[in-house]
Structure formats: C-alpha cells, structure tokens
Amino acid sequence: MRIAVVGTVVCDRIVYTDGREIHSLGGIHYTVAVAAHLCPPDWEILPICRIGRDALPAVLDAWGEFPNVRRDGIRPAARPNTRVTLLYRKPTEREEYTTLPMAPLGTEELYPALSADVCVINFITGRDVKLAALRFLRESYRGMLYLDIHSLTLGIAPDGQRYYRYPRRWREYARAADCLQLNEYEAACLAQLRPDERTLEALRSFAVLLLSNLSGRLRLVNLTLGERGSLMACRGRDGSITCEHVPGLRVSVVDPTGCGDTYAIAFLVRYIATGDPLEAAYFANTIAGHKCTLAGSEGLAELGHAAAAANASSSRLLQSGSGQEDLLSNLTPSRGVG
C-alpha cells in the first residue's frame, strides 16, 4: 500500500492564550508523521511538496526517523519556506498570519502520485496545487483521491492575516475528489451560512447537498466539528445518501493545531484496513481527540499508542494488506444512520 500526501509543509509559530509559544513543523508534516505512526511498516508514505531552503534540513531530519517515508516527491525550493503564526484567543479559536505561500505544484510534480493507491491532497496554504494539475491527476489517476478543502476557503490580507472568503471556483476542486473533508467553518463559508445558522442540521444538510449536487466521483464527505465530533455522509451502492453524526472524544484540549490533518489520515488508514467508512470515522475522531492533548507536532508517537488501544477495543483490527480491492464500492455505513 502506498499513500501519496500532497500539500505544503509550513513552519508554525503557535502562541497560546497564556502567552506561551512554541515553534513546530506543520501543514502536511502532521499527515506524514501521523501516517508513519499509524500505518503498518510495509506501507509506503510519499509526500509531494515544495520545501524552502531554510526548512529542508529540519523536515528531512524529522522524516528521516520513519523508514517508510520516501523522499522522491520532495521539491527543494531556493526561497524561504512558508511560515505561519497561530495566535490562540481561546483554546479552540485563533487568528492566523502567513508569509508568502510556496509556489503551487504543477502537473509534472504530481507524476509520482500516479503510483500511489491513495492520494491525500491537503490545501494548507490554499495555493498548494494548480487547478490544471489537479484536473490532470483526476483524469489520469485510478486510485482514491481524498481532498481536504482547508485553506482553499482562506484569503490573505496585506498584513498576512488569513480570513474566510468565498472561493468562486471551489466546486471545480471538489469535483476532483472521491472523498472530501472540510470543517464546520469551511462548510459555513461554502454554504454561505451566518454564524447563527451554523447548526448541526444545517451542516448535515450541506454535507448531503454536496453529494447530491457535485458531479464526478465524489462518494463521501467528512465534515469535522471539533469537540462535537464529525458528520460522515456517503453514497451507498444503490445511490442512496446517508449521514451519520459521530461523537468526538472528550479530552482536555491543549492544542487543536493539526487535528484536521490527523483526522484525515487516521480515517484513511482505518478505512483502507476495514473497508468501513463509519468505523473509520469513529477511529479518526478518537485519534484526532488525542492529538488535541499534544502541543504542536511534538509527541505524535503517542498517537500510535492511542491507535493500538483503539484497535484492541475494536471489532476489526488493523491488518497489513487487509485493504479492499475496490474501496469505493464499500462506501455505505454498516450501522444505523442519524
């Protein structure tokens, strides 16, 4: 099994509500590192990204700890790497400031992804992949494409602050995906919901609407809700659409940075192993909840221990090579729907 991870590694400066701050690798580093801790040792992880000259040694050193992480998708850049400052005003609310995003990946840079069984595309900066390159990948790629909308919904002000704004062409990106992920704020932005309209039922309706109205191969939507868990909507073999509210893990939140990235890769690892998207959503909420107890990207090895505990209590254990031959044919919940 080979998992390609496409996006941007950023250098995070995280400032907490009490004034403490840490410096940490972020962006798709979470996806790569968490995958390395959750995947069986014979699964390959292929990051595809540009990395600035100032961050390259630290990234190579961090990923060098994982024997199953390949380096042939890394594109060194002569310019400085993108840096992001996260200022937490409340434990789960923050302001974000970014330096200039790395140049987007083009068609040639995405060629290595064609050899992967699953491809994760995470819009960390919002400018990670050219739309033409994404279209090429969709037309040429036969594996599962999991796309996290993430910063595609964010604009950048002159001072570097990120802000939500409606991206006119977001449907063109979303149509490329087999599986789509977004959080409740991103969903509210795309659905053009006011804060007082962002109810669980409105978000559920939007997740179902995505599956109903977007043409293409879209079969599953994961809509993350922070401490409330997630909504998992999918189209079954008969074309019917179901949507399940999956509760979150109750924890004392230390730092939610990277929880969405963690959710995505935990969902995929579990789904590949079991072929059951609902079980994968429960597992992903558990692992993302444990990530909330960690500061930045430090201590991610603990998620491997959390996964082992989750596996021990599950009716289906992760097994190397147990992935389904046609994962998309299994996109239907095995439990009752909400």
Q: What are 59's two structure tokens?
A: 């990234």
Buried b (16+ CB within 10 A) or exposed e, 269-305: bbbbbbbbbbbbbbbbbbbbbbbbbbebbeebeebee
- Residue 139's contacts (CB-CB under 8 Å, 6 or more residues apart) are none
Which domains does the chain show, CATH number per domain?
2-330 (3.40.1190.20)
- State the Cα–Cα distance between residues 255 and 109, nearest whole angstrom: 33
Confidence grade of residue 305 (pLDDT, cut at 50, 70, 90) = confident
- Which pTM was predicted? 0.92
Give residue-wise pLDDT tens across range 81-140: 999 999 999 988 999 999 999 999 999 999 999 999 999 999 999 999 999 999 999 999
Q: Starting at the edge strand that comes first in sequence, how are the strands of the sheet with 93-98 ordered?
A: 21-27, 9-15, 83-90, 93-98
- Tokens standing for residue 266: 């935990």
Q: How confident is the model at residue 230 (pLDDT cuts 50, 70, 90)?
A: very high
